[in-house]
Amino acid sequence: MPITTVIFDYGCVLSLAPRPEDFAPLYQALGVGSEAFQEMYWRNREAYDLAAIDGPTYWQGVAHAVGATFSPQQIQKMTALDIQIWERANPVMVEWVRVLRARGLKTAVISNISRTVGDYLRQTVKWLELFDHLCFSGEVKMGKPHPAIYHLCLEALGVPAARTLFIDDREVNVAAARAVGMHGIVFRSAEELHADLEPYGLAESLAEAKARAPKQPVVS
């Protein structure tokens, strides 16, 4: 049964994985080291991404970890710095979406991403218009690897799971997609993805995208 739809994770698949130095403006604003900041950053990130807490509450939690309180202006600055980490797109993957669409396949995104970041991306990242559907956890208040978010996306697209390929950088999320009947690939790099796509007849389309993609990261 041929694949008719490809669904992507956003962070570290469509967008480039953050480099350690990308977090520097954030942890320097708090006056802490990189390792300590990573613990603060991720501690309540799932709740933020699922809209269980809002942006100001999330950032005040980060500040409280070092005995500080953020002003509204500081929260706005931290939010802007945070968004910058995630908006550098992977040029090959974005170009591949274009190739897939030109070949008649549907495309979508399922991402665990906060409402704040998701709203910003919808408004500013023009290439997101390539997708038939965007399913952001902060908007639907559920996230991967819960099966409900996969079903929700499939229903919105009107496609059967068996004809859908899901690509994510986390094994647990890919395993969950397979459990609902989708095909799945764990993303490590565009180079490794090429070989993984061979069984689905999509490797040649990725090769075309590699040849056409700009060499620099896509920002918008």
Give the pLDDT band of residue 218 (cuts 50, 70, 90): low
Position 220 confidence tier, pLDDT thresholds 50, 70, 90 = low
Which CATH topology does 5-16+88-212 take? Rossmann fold (3.40.50)
Residue 10: predicted pLDDT: 98
* pLDDT reported for residue 219: 55
Residue pLDDT, tens place only, 51-93: 999 999 999 999 999 899 999 999 999 999 999 999 899 999 9
- Please say if the pLDDT value at position 177 is more than 60: yes
What single string gives the DSSP state of each residue in 142-198?
--TTSHHHHHHHHHHHT--GGGEEEEES-HHHHHHHHHTT-EEEE-S-HHHHHHHTG
Q: What is the pLDDT of residues 120-134, one digit of tens each?
A: 999 999 999 999 999
**Taking the domains of the chain in order of start, what are their residue ranges?**
5-16+88-212, 20-86
pTM assigned to the model: 0.94
